[in-house]
Structure 1
Amino acid sequence: MIDSARRLGLVLGDQLSFDLSLFDALDPQEDVLLLAEVAEEARYVAHHPQKIALIFSAMRHFADALRERGWRVIYVRFDDPHNSGSLPGELRRWSDRLRAREVHITECGEWRLQQALEDSGLPLNWHEDRRVLCSRADFARWAAGRRQLRMELFYREMRRRSGLLLEPDGQPCGGSWNLDAENRKALPKGLRGPFPARFLADDVTREVLELVAERFGDHYGRLEGFDYPVTHAEAQALWQHFLDFALAAFGDYQDAMACGEPFLFHARISAALNIGLLDVRQLCADVESAYRQGRVPLNAAEGFIRQLIGWREYVRGIYWLRMPEYAELNAFGNRRALPEFYWTGATGMRCMAEAIGQTLELGYAHHIQRLMVTGNFALLAGIAPKAICEWYLAVYLDAFDWVELPNTLGMVMHADGGYLGSKPYCASGRYIQRMSDYCGGCAYRVDEATGPRACPFNALYWHFLMRHAERLERNPRMAMAYRNLRRMDEVRREALWQRGEELLARLDAGEAL
């Protein structure tokens, strides 16, 4: 029984790393670590049940691993009758009970939680999160004096700083910093990804699954079939599976989509990485090694590393630089509610049904499904940014506010007015047809833009361009789209506008498209 501690250290559910900076300040013999499953974190949005199960199970396994390493650990379960329901409440309860003189915490990933802890009135000692490659202070220094913060420039700086994929003279391998143009191949007919790695539930996970089924059964998403890694060893096995069987093709087909193929050549490691079961430095080193050993092509290695030290670090920097005001941005003034079919998948648009259906079942969709299918539709339909941001935060296992908010509000919805991305990521159904097999068997016709059977993405795309022309037509990256719009005769433009108006009216009436 632990009844006293000189110092108390709080370990969060997304800080399950053995090299957490917090540990440097504590003594395993005299101090105590606290991990707690609390209602406030599990319910502030209606998280997918598999997301809650992943974090609770990983936390319980991590607590056991810490004890094996000699740490004194207090673990508060969700169903503990004395559970206060919040992390500030548990910190206060246990610091008082143990008569701890100091409380130590590694900086939070989410602004909301850090504010709640700072407002708790407890004397907190904060430690920098060194698991990331670019600290908040480093990013702020990089951003100082820049009117626009372009990811490409940040990414090049991170490449130089890390030395990844550089030649001895400091130039990028292959002569180009960014091979994004080589990451956009459509999937050849009949090609499928490798069989996904799966992980069986042990006794700890089964107990968690029972708890989640009982307490969170009303949340969006299926709990059945949960098979995610919940330990460092399992996460490493998932990573090795990707290195062995998928990375080589990732470069070519990372933007491809296919019916019945939720993973294709994607790693599926983002959830494990975001809660601390994997280390970003090791992942990058492994990918670079695979390239230099000739096991994968450069476009695969560069494309994957760009996602990690480019986008991932970049959006974290944006988040901490601009919060909390960033969350309130709404450049287009969108007010439309999120359609009900985002929660059910009940829509005749096959691409949306596929992306939402696999999200319901797996808590997973890869970046192009999120950006160019569900996100693209939300942008074109004028959905309120807060509504779609909350949906992404709730339904995906890897979604934490620091990574979800800039990607959704900035990249998907362009609600920051171009601060993060230089153009809106909008497209008609032709893009989805080119990058997937979704259009075959769809209730709508992708080669039509007007009429009752026309693909909704088509008219909504042109409607979006027309209603936001004043803001967007001077954007150099939108010039071709607006030239095409101006080439249309008035009758065509009016037909597209009216079809768009009809579709938006149906959404406002609560109809499924």
Structure 2
Amino acid sequence: MQKRKEMTVNKTKIARLILGDQLNSNHTWFETVQENVTYIMMEVRTETDYAIHHIQKVVGFFAAMRFFAETLRINNHNVIYLELNHKDNKQSFGANLEVLLSNGNFTHFEYQQPDEYRLDKILETFATQITIPTKVYDTEHFFTTRNELGTFFEGKKMYLMESFYRAMRKKHDILMDGTNPTTGQWNYDADNRKKLPKDHKPTAPMVFNNDVSDIVEMIFKTDCKTIGTIEAKQFLWPINREQTLELLDFFVTECLPLFGTYQDAMTPNEWSLYHSRLSFSMNIKMISPSEVVHRAIKEWEKHPETIEYNQLEGFVRQIIGWREYMRGIYWLKMPEYNSLNYFNHQEKLPDWFWTGNTKMNCLKDSIKQSLHYAYAHHIQRLMITGSFALLAGTHPDEVDAWYLGIYIDALDWVEITNTRGMSQFADGGIVGTKPYVSSASYIDKMSNYCGSCYYNKAKKVGDKACPFNSLYWNFYDKHEDKLAKNPRIGMMYKVWQRMKPEDKEALLQQADYYLKNINNL
């Protein structure tokens, strides 16, 4: 007699955590629907409250997360989603997971590698405290692994981004002709530093009209502290993959032809210029850097007569060079990087960093734009707000908190290396080869701010002298012991040393006056 086969039941029950910056619909997790897998997403106060965030940042994350969760449900995946005001929300990952794993009788817990050191440690610790097996997956997003940069520079004293960028081009065969760059030249940065002509009108930016009033109302009702403004019924940022792809198409067709040329330009009342504004979507993984890069290359290949190569190369370098490089530095140097303060700066940010109410036109425009749009491009961040904070001797913790909070695309892994490293030189030169500070001359060269400013760009001392001028020389004088031997700025010290003693004294006195009255500038 034939033996009857026993029916077996799979009792494995898997809980998979998805963080708010892991909205990658192309991840292998989602290739098949598995009845025994449940995806867990949550809005928690530990994430809204660890910094004072721009309201558009909090709303952008929650709106994108909710859309992603609903898409998973539509595709028949099991989803548990805790909104911020849910009665059972214990407001932290660990506390919520403990209850959900227990109540759901889950036998396995899985999550993707967090991009933030803080969250990485939280989930590592949580995994050691539960009794069920844990498995960690790659996010399948970046061109590099966490440790790839560290391995690449092993034994080297300097971490040159250009070297890393070229290696990434070779490894991933991007803009390459065999082992050589497509055009014979690696970097076109020198062609990408033009000021926007006064009569030039940039393309109007693509924005969206997402109604997020329910999320805004919830944030106000839960007393979640935020900064900035928002149009609740016309939220302008993409909140799903479809909108992100629309924005990418708009960028490559309408903006890429002039992106490189004017990528460093600044002008009042033009907040977007020719920038892609895809960083928020990329950083929460609604789109991959590979997709963005190859879409831009495809457009250039189709229209080489309208998209000059320097426009494309500058954009590609930002993504496969700078973005991957900053992430690599982050994982190589954390957690020590979080406390570096090379100049021992101790001051607080001026009060007007939170309002934009300053008479300095460049700072007023950059800050008010940031409060209104949760966005400013890289030169506004580096050479306006960042440069001033450095000249003012601001503690890097203060600067980090401001940048992390005010920008919709600011996540710790990319913010801290750009701010504490590139902008504030608090790492002593790990990221940047020199401090990025300037007098009014650079700001005037790259922007249209100075012409209508209360302060006089040409004056170094006296009534209405531009504060950047005296603060610039004060900075170099104060830190001569640490900077004089830097080959990239040695020329500035020669200029300083050639000045008459009375002129130097006047500059230092002017700077001292401005620093003592910084909240009134």
- TM-score exceeds 0.5: yes
Out of 171, 176, 188, the residue aligned to residue 166 of structure 1 is 176
SS in 2 for 1:440: helix
Out of 144, 160, 166, the residue aligned to residue 150 of structure 1 is 160
Out of 36, 39, 44, the residue aligned to residue 42 of structure 2 is 36
| Corresponding residue for residue 47 of structure 1 | 53
Q: Kindly provide the amino acid, as one letter, of the partner of residue 101 in structure 1.
A: T
Query: How much does 1:394 deviate?
Result: 0.4
Contact 1:184-1:252 within 8 A present in 2 as well = yes
Counterparts of 1:137 and 1:359, CA distance in 2: 33
Out of 135, 142, 163, the residue aligned to residue 132 of structure 1 is 142
Out of 218, 221, 224, the residue aligned to residue 214 of structure 1 is 221
Counterparts of 2:153 and 2:30, CA distance in 1: 30
- Alpha carbons of structure 1 residues 393 and 442: separation in structure 2 relative to 1, 3 Å: same
| Corresponding residue for residue 98 of structure 1 | 104
| Corresponding residue for residue 309 of structure 2 | 298
SS in 2 for 1:65: helix
Pair member with larger Rg: 2
Contact 1:184-1:254 within 8 A present in 2 as well = yes
Contact 1:385-1:413 within 8 A present in 2 as well = yes
Q: Kindly provide the amino acid, as one letter, of the partner of residue 491 in structure 2.
A: M
1:162-311 superposed matches below 5 A: 162-167=172-177, 169-202=178-211, 205-215=212-222, 218-224=225-231, 226-293=235-302, 294=304, 295-311=306-322
- Alpha carbons of structure 1 residues 356 and 46: separation in structure 2 relative to 1, 3 Å: same
CA deviations 1:217-245 (Å, max 9, x no partner) are 74210022521110100111111111111
Counterparts of 1:165 and 1:73, CA distance in 2: 41
| Corresponding residue for residue 439 of structure 2 | 428
Counterparts of 1:481 and 1:290, CA distance in 2: 43
Contact 1:352-1:373 within 8 A present in 2 as well = yes
- Residues 1:17 and 2:27 are matched in the alignment: no
Contact 1:21-1:106 within 8 A present in 2 as well = no
Counterparts of 1:97 and 1:452, CA distance in 2: 69
Q: Kindly provide the amino acid, as one letter, of the partner of residue 512 in structure 1.
A: N
Contact 2:147-2:331 within 8 A present in 1 as well = no
| Corresponding residue for residue 476 of structure 2 | 465
- Residues 1:338 and 2:325 are matched in the alignment: no
Q: Kindly provide the amino acid, as one letter, of the partner of residue 145 in structure 2.
A: S
Q: Kindly provide the amino acid, as one letter, of the partner of residue 265 in structure 2.
A: A
Counterparts of 1:433 and 1:442, CA distance in 2: 11
Contact 1:21-1:129 within 8 A present in 2 as well = no
Aligned residue pairs, count: 503
Contact 1:220-1:395 within 8 A present in 2 as well = yes
Q: Identity, % of aligned pairs? A: 38
What is the CA RMSD across the aligned residues, in angstroms? 1.5
Out of 84, 109, 114, the residue aligned to residue 90 of structure 2 is 84
TM norm structure 2: 0.94
| Corresponding residue for residue 8 of structure 2 | none
TM norm structure 1: 0.95
| Corresponding residue for residue 396 of structure 1 | 407
| Corresponding residue for residue 382 of structure 2 | 371
Counterparts of 1:418 and 1:311, CA distance in 2: 16
SS in 1 for 2:274: coil
SS in 2 for 1:253: coil
Counterparts of 2:28 and 2:331, CA distance in 1: 19
SS in 2 for 1:348: coil
Counterparts of 2:34 and 2:316, CA distance in 1: 36
